[in-house]
Amino acid sequence: MNSLSNLPAVLVLEDGRIFRGRSYGAVGTTLGEAVFTTGMTGYQETLTDPSYAHQIIVQTFPHIGNTGVNSEDPESTRMWAAGYVVRDAARRPSNWRSERTLDEELVEYGIVGIQGVDTRALTRHLRDAGAMKSGIFSGDDAAKSDAELVELVKAQPSMAGRNISAEVSVDTAYIVEPADHGYTGEPKRTVAAIDLGMKSMTPHRLAERGLRVHVLPYNATLEDIKATGAEGVFFSNGPGDPATATAQVELVRSVLDAGMPYFGICFGNQILGRALGFDTYKLRFGHRGINQPVMDKATGRVEITSQNHGFAVDAPIEGTVTAPVERFGKVEVSHYSLNDHVVEGLSCLDIPAFSVQYHPEAASGPHDAAYLFDRFMTALDSAAEKDSK
């Protein structure tokens, strides 16, 4: 049975560009920043990634929804995307793991979408003009004049200068045990993971290596971290402008001053960069997808990575420099994008801290970067050995 609604819908960009189609998912109005993602699979993980909060996702892959949705693949407790744009929505799913249609899931979480859009033309436009304010209007809301809809889109706040971590972080702390993720034996180490929009696979990857993970909310303090008995600290991915994360930057500086090993991904990479004294900036259209090529400078190997970020660290790609906050010593860019030479990783040489801009938990995506969790384990072991002497 075809569950798709078939009402008029329109996607409106702040520069006046308009794309018309039919409704998909919930019917009504939604506003957000229009961004595109190049992943050919993993739409359920994409929609449930908290880093997409307040963003309208454009899928470059044309056929979406053909494998349905299930209860095992979500990366959080809900869909976070502000809206969803696809070209060819599947009329019915066909997969042995499917439990519901994607359309039904979009309706369940109130995600307003649009189907039948020329997503190739839309993506080319966003690559030229950059990610921008946008809105999807369907049903009766699509009947408003173009000029009125453009004004509604323009009136929304920009993603730059926006602090969103509080909206997507966990409300209360919880523990992820190694035994629940296939690890046998007593936990090797204890770490604190600061949830700034963390995907569920991330503590899973830590726990399966023998780490007991205390997941703490975005506003955790150094005292909260120490109270868990943590031997190291992890900062997660998340949405928003890192320039607004003043409290988290100061927390990372406290962690570094305490000599605790630090590992950050995505937003956690940007926060480490700012803690070291580097600036961050907004990318023209960002990196989103599961096929982003990255150079590992230490090995010369190319990693195919899963990414979702619209901001980046402003640091020199070549050579080793003293951190602008000099007490943290030498630092170097460890990874960079082969598409546009954006900083994709930082490595501190005098303190046990490193980070990457991409998602090594790879849900969904390739597993080229899984070694980074092992690298964090090595840093924890080295710190413990040093403390024992």
Tell me the catalytic residues.
Answer: 266, 359, 361
Residue that has been written with the tokens 């869909």 in this structure: 79
Question: What distances in angstroms separate CA 315 from CA 223, 277, 324, one per listed residue?
Answer: 31, 10, 10
Residue that has been written with the tokens 């990634």 in this structure: 49
In this structure, are strands 262-265 and 232-235 parallel, antiparallel, or unpaired?
parallel
Looking at the DSSP bridge assignments, the partners of residue 261 are none
Q: Which amino acid is at 113?
A: G
Dmax (CA) for the chain in angstroms is 72
In this structure, are strands 353-356 and 262-265 parallel, antiparallel, or unpaired?
parallel
CA distance 25 to 296: 40
How many other CB atoms are found less than 10 A from the CB of residue 78?
13
DSSP conformational letter for 164: -
CA distance 376 to 370: 11
Question: What distances in angstroms separate CA 179 from CA 105, 186, 233, 236, 384, one per listed residue?
Answer: 31, 8, 20, 22, 22
Query: Cis omega (within 30 of 0) on the bond before 364?
Result: yes
Residue that has been written with the tokens 């629940």 in this structure: 180
Helix (H, G, I), strand (E, B) or coil at 370: coil
CA distance 333 to 314: 10
User: Cα 319 vs. chain centroid, distance in angstroms?
Assistant: 28
CA distance 194 to 268: 9
CA distance 39 to 23: 22
CA distance 288 to 55: 12
CA distance 222 to 262: 13
